[in-house]
Structures are given as C-alpha cells and as structure tokens.
Structure 1
Amino acid sequence: MENDPATQLSTLGHPQRLAVFRLLMRRYPGQVPAGDLAAALDIKASTMSTYLAALQRAGLVVQTRAGTSLLYAADMTRVRQLFEYLLLDCCRGRPDLCLPLAIGDTSMSDRKYNVLFICTGNSARSIFAESILRATAPDRFEAYSAGTNRHSSLNPFALRVLADKGYDTSPLRSKHISEFTSPDAPKFDFVFTVCDQAANEDCPAWEGQPISGHWGMPDPVKVTGTDAEKSLAFQQAFGALRSRIAAFTALPMASLDRIALQSAVDEIGRASTKETS
C-alpha cells in the first residue's frame, strides 16, 4: 500500500479520483457500492474500478464485502493522518496560519441551534425531520428543510402521516436549497442529508463549518402498490427519523466539543445505515 503523503496527494490530483474521494467523504460513515458511485458521478463501471483501486492503494479508501456486493468507504484513519501531515508537519513553526482554518472553534455553547435537513425533493423525508425536530425540542433547535430538486411539492401521504400524528402542517412548504445559501440565510450549526441522492450531490460548503451527518434511508415516494402499502412506507420513514432525532436531541450539546459531537452524529448515521441495510 502506497499511503505516503506524496502518493496520496498525487492520487487526489486526478479530478475524477478526487470526485470519488469527495463523494465518499460526503457519504461517510456509509459504505457505498461501486455502481452507486459510478451512477452518481456518471463514470463507466470499468473506469470507476480503476479509480477505486488507485484510492485503495493510496490508503484513502477501504473495501468491504456484504454478500456478493463490494462496498467502499473513506479510510478515516489514513485521511486523518494525511491531514495531520499537512497541518502539523508542513505548517510546523506557523500553526497560527494553518490550524485555525481547519479546526476553528472546537467548543459548543449552550444555546439554540439551527439545523437543516436536506433530501432531493423536500417533499417527505426532510419535511418529516423538520417537523419532528421542531415539535420535539423547539426551545433548543430551530429546524429547517430543503431539497436539491428545484421543482417539487409536498407529498400528500407525508402530510397525512403528520396530520394523523397531530403535527401542524400549515407552515410547511417545499424549498430549494438555494434559499439557504444567500447572505441573509440562517447560519447552520448542523446539516443532515436524509437521502443518498442528496448526499451524492456537490452541495455548497456551508459557512461556519457546521457539523454534518448523513442519515440515508429509502425514499417512500418511490414505493408503488396500494395506498396501504405506500402509507406503510411513509410510516416507516417517519418512525426511523423520529428514532434518529431522539438520539440526536439526547446528546449533551453544551458538554461536548465539536470533534466529540461530530463523532456522536457519525455514530447515529452508522446506526442508521445498519437499520436500512
């Protein structure tokens, strides 16, 4: 394995290999099939295999097997070692220039936090998450949601689930992510993707370095069959998000620094992956 920094940087110097690596970082801690990576980046399967092999040799990506499928994830141990080399070794003698850019303020104060949930259409999953968090802890969190698809509307099955459970649906509307990238938009402390497709997309780098997480789950909108079968899919998505948000709101925000809180958010995402696999 050629995991010295020079080889790793050379490997990432190729635009498409860098795109694969960035996508796996966005999907972390999830493990992604090569086919999904190829489809998301519009790269031929054979070419994707070559890129993944190069990233593995450089020690930036690990491969695991699940049944007959090969899954890929960023090797965070090696990635951290590369970052440490760049920030601590290359910046040795001038940490005042390098470290603040990468680490920033590591403390989390006891205050109200802004949270954004993103999915493709902002019609069901992210709307569920916004509604659940707003109702669960309105004194501690301000909840928002958005979609990466510019043309969408709220799904009637999703609205029915929320209404049946006593949630106020009157303030809900489908919003595009661009609404939250303007200078006067809220500054987010947490940004979560709740579908794989949204996580695959190259979303903006959020100002202030919010803590991010990926809670991917199947899209209930794509379920076919009877109304009862469709309703069940929406109920299951709602229940899964309610469990994850319960775990999130139980975290002792004020007593954790950013690094510990990011690790806790990743663990919720890791548990989410096991539930839906």
Structure 2
Amino acid sequence: MEAPDAASVFAALGQGSRLDLLRTLLEAGPAGLSAGTIGTALGIAPSTLSFHLRALEQVGLVRSTRQGRSLIYTAQIERLRHLIIFLSQDCCGGRPELCNDLVQAWPTSPPENGPMIPAYNVLFLCTRNSARSLLAEAILNKLGGERFHAYSAGSDPAPQPMPEVVEKLKNLGHDVSSIRSKSYREFQKPEAPRMDFVITLCDELQGQHCPDFGGHAITASWPLPGPGQFAPGSHERVLMLNELYASLFRRLGIFTSLNMDALDRMSLRHRLDHLSEAPLTVAKEH
C-alpha cells in the first residue's frame, strides 16, 4: 500500500457511521451480513446505508457477494492488514521490529471456506545465501501469509547461515527451522516450485548473470550491501543487519500490498525496480 492509497482508506473511514459499519462487519466475520441486517443493527436508512457501503467498497474495505436474491457484505481484513503494515513500515525510526505485535495482530491467511487467493513463489538470490537473502525469505514468509511463498539461494552458498542472522530472526519471532544456505540449482530441478519472481540482492552473483528460471519469472535487482564485510560479532555487523532488516521489511511490505491481478508484467517489473531505489544507510567500519 502506498501513501495515496492509505489516505483514501482513512478518508473513507473519517465518518462515524462508516466506522460503526466496518466494526459491525468485522464482528460478523467471514459469513458477512445483508444490507437489511446491517441497517437494522445500526439504525441507518437504506439510502444512507447504501451510500456508506459504496464508499467503503470503493477503497476495498468491504466486498459484496450475491447469495440468492440478497447481497452479503463482508469486511476485507487483508486490506486492513496492509494498512497496518503501511503504518508500521517506518516504526520507531526505521525499526519495524518494534511494531511486530501490531503487524501480527492481523491474520495473514484467508478465512476457512473463504475465497481462494493465488499464491506467488518468490526466490531471493545472493552469492553466499547467508544473510541478505535469508532475511528477505523470512520476512516475506511472515508478511505474505498464504499469498506468497518465499525461498532463497546463492551461486556460491556458505556452509551455514551467518549466526547473527539466525539469532536476529529468532528474536523477532520468525520461524528459522528451514533457514539454511543452499545453491540456486536446487530451484532449477524439474520438481522445484516454479518461480513467479526472482530478486537478486547483491550487485552480482560472483560476476554471473542472473540464473535462468524460464520466461515465466519476473526478475528484479535490489542491490544491498553485505554484512560479511564486517568482522563477526562486531558492532558494525550488528548495525548493518538492523539496517538490512528494516529496509527489506519496508520494501516487502509494499510488495505484498501490490494488486498483482490488476498489474501487467511490465507494470510489476517497474514497481519492483522502483523498490530497489529505497535508501539504506550503510554502517562504516572504523
């Protein structure tokens, strides 16, 4: 979600009856309510209720589906989750981990018996697959819920992940049970999942071009400095990992809020390239 989009959501909610309406639909859950039931519960005339429902539908907070002769309205929790992610992206001076509980407050998977949501496979590449790409994999798997399946790999993988990376992810509540350094060749095997997006996080993969994952995948490059330039356990390495986590959290929060169905390949590629321009303050070793 971007700033103009968030502003439109807040504008739609800037009215007492609409807030009450949305809270009523949230309480009803995935089953939703008919317009007549909502109007009776809130004491709103049909014409006024229709106006408010339309305003909330236009910004994606409410969806209507026809069941027989009635329209059933449901709150779109995923949309609210993207709003919370937008608000927490620059939490506490670029430390989104301090807003972690706020982001976790919203479910990341569709309700049971709800509509199926397409899932996208995303592969993050870096030379050693020991820090940047592992951070991105863990963050996207947490932010993306059921909509995104994240993976990572390297052209010359390290024997094991950087210990500080595993420790940081653990401390921030990420599942690290599957975190390991591995070769991108694992994802070129016939049985490997087909990638929808391949994003490189270093300037070059040891001087190579990005590996070929077929014409289906949309590729992008987000060059980020590596913490391996600093000594293990050093203050500079810790600072670098904090900055990398914050930067990736911001970028992937925006990435997960993109309306994939409404964008063509060129538009998606342009959005991904634009995200690569997000600044990162690099720690300097003295």
Q: TM-score, normalising length from structure 2? A: 0.55
* Closer/same/farther in 2, CA of residues 188 and 199 from structure 1, 3 Å limit: farther
The corresponding residue for 2:251 is 244
* Closer/same/farther in 2, CA of residues 276 and 181 from structure 1, 3 Å limit: farther
1:56-110: CA deviation from partner (whole Å, max 9, x where unpaired): xxxxxxxxxxxxxxxxxxxxxxxxxxxxxxxxxxxxxxxxxxxxxxxxxxxxx96
User: Could you say what secondary structure the match of 1:179 adopts?
Assistant: helix
Does the alignment pair 1:179 with 2:193? no
The corresponding residue for 1:202 is 209
User: Could you say what secondary structure the match of 2:220 adopts?
Assistant: strand
How far did 1:225 drift?
A: 7.8
Name stretches of at least 5 consecutive residues in structure 2 with no aligned partner.
1-115
Q: Distance in 2 between matches of 1:255 and 1:208?
A: 20
- For the aligned residue pairs, the C-alpha RMSD in angstroms reads 2.1
Q: Distance in 1 between matches of 2:182 and 2:143?
A: 22
- 1:10-21 matches, within 5 Å, as none
The corresponding residue for 2:274 is 267
The corresponding residue for 1:155 is 162
Q: Distance in 1 between matches of 2:233 and 2:192?
A: 40
- 1:1-150 matches, within 5 Å, as 111-150=118-157
How far did 1:119 drift?
A: 0.5
Name stretches of at least 5 consecutive residues in structure 1 with no aligned partner.
1-108
The corresponding residue for 2:225 is 218
How far did 1:134 drift?
A: 0.2
Q: Distance in 1 between matches of 2:195 and 2:233?
A: 39
How far did 1:228 drift?
A: 2.7
Q: Which protein, 1 or 2, shows the higher relative CO under an 8 Å CA cutoff with sep ≥ 6? A: 1
* Closer/same/farther in 2, CA of residues 171 and 190 from structure 1, 3 Å limit: same
Judge conservation of contact 2:200–2:223 (CA < 8 Å) in 1: yes
User: Could you say what secondary structure the match of 1:265 adopts?
Assistant: helix
How far did 1:176 drift?
A: 0.5
Does the alignment pair 1:169 with 2:194? no
1:41-65: CA deviation from partner (whole Å, max 9, x where unpaired): xxxxxxxxxxxxxxxxxxxxxxxxx
How far did 1:198 drift?
A: 2.0
Max radius of gyration: which structure?
A: 2
Q: Distance in 2 between matches of 1:171 and 1:226?
A: 23
> Partner amino acid for 1:139?
E
1:161-190: CA deviation from partner (whole Å, max 9, x where unpaired): 111111111111111111111111111100
User: Could you say what secondary structure the match of 1:196 adopts?
Assistant: coil
User: Could you say what secondary structure the match of 1:262 adopts?
Assistant: helix
2:240 to 233, 253, 256: 233
How far did 1:226 drift?
A: 5.8
